[in-house]
Structure 1
Amino acid sequence: MTQKLDIIFSALADPTRRAILAMLLEDDMAVTDVAEPFEVSLAAISKHLGVLTTAGLISQEKRGRVKWCKLEPDAMREASVWMQAFGQMDAIDLDAFEAFLATQLK
Structure 2
Amino acid sequence: MTRKVTPARLSFRDKLLGSFALVAIRSRIDLLEAKLVKIEKGYRAFYMTRRLDRAYGDIAWRLDVSKAVLEHLTRMHPDHKPILLRCGGFPLRPRPRPFRFQAM
TM-score bin, normalised by smaller chain = under 0.3
Please state which structure has a larger fraction of its residues in helix.
1
User: TM-score if structure 2 supplies the norm length?
Assistant: 0.19
Whose RCO is larger (CA < 8 A, sep 6+)? 1
